[in-house]
Amino acid sequence: MPTTTDPTGAGGVAARGVFAGLNPAVVSVLALLAERGNFDPVARAQDHLARLKAELKITPAQDKAWQGFATQVSQQAETMKKRFAQRPDPKAEAQMHAPERMAQQLAQMQERLKDMQALRDRVADLYAVLTPAQQTLADQHFARMGREMREHMGQIVGLSQLPGFHVL
Q: Is 58 exposed, middle or buried, given 0-12, 13-18 or 19+ CB atoms closer than 10 A? A: buried
Average pLDDT over every residue of 78-83: 86
pLDDT of residue 144: 77
Cβ-based neighbour number of residue 2 at 10 Å: 10
Query: For residue 12, what pLDDT band results from cuts at 50, 70 and 90?
Result: very low
Q: Is the pLDDT of residue 46 over 80?
A: yes
Q: Contact at 8 Å (CB) between 25 and 166?
A: no
Query: For residue 13, what pLDDT band results from cuts at 50, 70 and 90?
Result: very low
Q: 0.85 exceeded by the pTM?
A: no
Q: Is the pLDDT of residue 1 over 70?
A: no
pLDDT digits (tens, 9 = 90+) for 85-138: 777 777 777 788 989 888 888 888 898 889 889 989 999 999 999 999 999 999
Closest to 94 (Cα-Cα) out of 85, 84, 86, 104: 104
Distance (Å, whole) CA 93 – CA 55? 42
Contacts of 106 (CB under 8 A, 6+ apart): 20
Query: For residue 33, what pLDDT band results from cuts at 50, 70 and 90?
Result: low
Q: Does 10 or 54 have the greater pLDDT score? A: 54
Q: Does 125 or 24 have the greater pLDDT score? A: 125
Percent of the chain with pLDDT over 90: 33
Kindly report the average pLDDT of the chain as a whole number: 75
Query: For residue 18, what pLDDT band results from cuts at 50, 70 and 90?
Result: very low
Q: Is the pLDDT of residue 53 over 90?
A: yes
* Least trusted range by pLDDT, from 50-54, 105-109, 114-118, 159-163: 159-163
